[in-house]
Amino acid sequence: MYEGLWIAQYAGMEGRDAGIVVLTQGRVLGGDNAFTYSGVYKEDGGALQATVLIQNFNASIGNVLGIAGDFTLTMKVLPSGDGILEGQGTTSLAPGFGLKVKLTRRATLEH
């Protein structure tokens, strides 16, 4: 149901940013101008839940959570419109803080 190419927009305590995410066969793959995203997802009662390793390849650019280096993000998003998922992401490296996530579908994957 969620397989495809998505625009990922997110906001945290250090600002806003965006990237690209591909969801395919339970895997999350993507990135932006300083980070790669790789992980797994599952559908649970209409929600999409994901655990994603965020890896920094350009140390001169920070992230919206203000975390240096690599970290794991746990995410839960729900449908909020046609081709749009919205929710939150959290990490154990910033307890009590998180980010807002909006995914907008750009293309489906045809098998």
Residue ranges making up the domain that contains 43 = 4-108
User: Which CATH number do you get for residue 81?
Assistant: 2.40.128.380
For residues 101 and 110, what is the distance between their CA atoms, to the nearest angstrom?
25
What's the number of domains the chain is made of? 1
Closest CA to 63 of 31, 16, 103: 16
Residue-wise pLDDT for 4-63, tens only, equals: 999 999 998 888 999 999 999 999 999 999 999 999 999 999 899 999 999 999 999 989
Phi first, then psi, for residue 16 (nearest 5°) are -125, 155
Indicate yes or no: pTM above 0.85: yes
- For residue 93, the model assigns a pLDDT of 86
Residue-wise pLDDT for 83-104, tens only, equals: 999 999 999 988 888 899 999 9
- Check pLDDT > 80 for residue 110: no
